[in-house]
Amino acid sequence: MIPIAGKYSTFAPFYDVMSGEYPVYRAGRETGIKMLRQPSGAQVLDVGCGTGLNFSLLQSQIAPGGTIVGIDRSPEMLVQARRRAERNGWTNVILIQADATELSPTDIGSRIAAQGGRAHSDAILATYALSLMKDWETAWANMVSLAAPGASLCVVDMQKPVGLSAALTLLAKAACWLGGSDIDAHPWTAVERDCADVKAASARGGHLQIRTGTRNTDA
């Protein structure tokens, strides 16, 4: 079986078509970014940005004057993200290749600042990214370290469907397995644990879980 990193590199040019974005996963992105409620001029860090599927939704909030910083470990996925930004004329997008579980927040902050951004962001989100990482708790800690005091944090990820939708569990598990995600990781619990003013939402029969919160000032 192709390792997760190799899988996303191999299929990067086709990811948007193969990912089930519009029938299923777009709903989570839309809900999470709406809950972030960032004003124009804000800087948002998109962890595991992939091909940039969050970018258009973020632009609708933070433009003009805002900045999107996308981090991903796959250079091939970042090529697609860069093409998306260029195709749409988004000059406010900074892209950095880094593994969220291994990066140094100080180094990443310096790299962001060197490209015209700020070392600490007003909001940070991870959509369908943390469940791909075996050590997602370290990635979460790095997210918090890159957040400005009082910043908004958002995690959108997957679990087994609930209620009447539980009948679709096998399909959901198969989709996560194909993508390399751990459907039982439940990384949004970090938002509930470490943030204030937590807001929760779900979509697609509970398969998609969304949490936003405010970085605690003592974090």
Q: Residue 59's domain is classified under what CATH number?
A: 3.40.50.150
Categorise residue 174: left if φ over 0, alpha if ψ from -120 to 50, beta otherwise.
Answer: alpha
Residue 183 lies in a domain: no
Residue 177: predicted pLDDT: 87
For the chain, give the mean pLDDT.
92
**pLDDT at residue number 22:** 73
**Model confidence over 154-180: pLDDT tens digits?**
999 999 999 989 998 998 899 888 889
Mean of pLDDT values over 172-195:
94
Whether residue 146 lies inside any domain: the answer is yes
- Average pLDDT over every residue of 41-45: 98
Range 120-137 burial, b when 16+ CB lie within 10 A, else e: bbbbbbbbbbbbbbeebe
Number of domains in the chain: 1
User: pLDDT confidence of 217, banded at 50, 70, 90?
Assistant: confident
β-strands 43-47, 67-72 pairing: parallel
Q: In whole angstroms, what is the distance from residue 5 CA to residue 39 CA?
A: 34
- pLDDT > 90 in the chain, percent: 82
For the cut 50, the answer to whether the pLDDT of residue 107 exceeds it is yes
What is the rounded CA–CA span in Å between residue 36 and residue 103? 24
Model pTM above 0.85: yes
- Tell me, yes or no, whether 143 lies in a domain: yes
Edge-first strand listing for the sheet containing 67-72? 93-97, 67-72, 43-47, 121-127, 147-158, 208-215, 195-203
Does residue 53 carry a pLDDT above 50? yes
Domain containing 47: what range? 4-155
Structure tokens at 149: 């005091």
Per-residue pLDDT for 21 more than 90?
Answer: no
Q: What is the per-residue pLDDT across 61-100, written as a single tens digit (0 to 9) for each?
A: 999 999 999 999 999 999 999 999 999 999 999 999 999 9
For residue 179, the model assigns a pLDDT of 86
pLDDT at 38: 96
pLDDT at 175: 86
Rounded alpha-carbon distances, angstroms, from residue 59 to 15, 70, 193: 21, 13, 29
**What is the structure's pLDDT at 70?**
98
Give the confidence band of 2 by pLDDT, cuts at 50, 70, 90: very low
Indicate if the alpha-carbon torsion angle 127, 111, 123, 83 is positive or negative.
Answer: negative
Give how far Cα 67 sits from Cα of 12, 134, 143, 144, 211, Å: 24, 29, 17, 18, 22
First to last CA, the chain: 39
| Strand blocks (E) in 23-129 | 43-47, 67-72, 93-97, 121-127
128 within a domain of the structure (yes/no): yes
Judged by DSSP in three states, 121 sits in strand
Of 7-11, 39-43, 100-104, 133-137, the one with minimum mean pLDDT is: 7-11
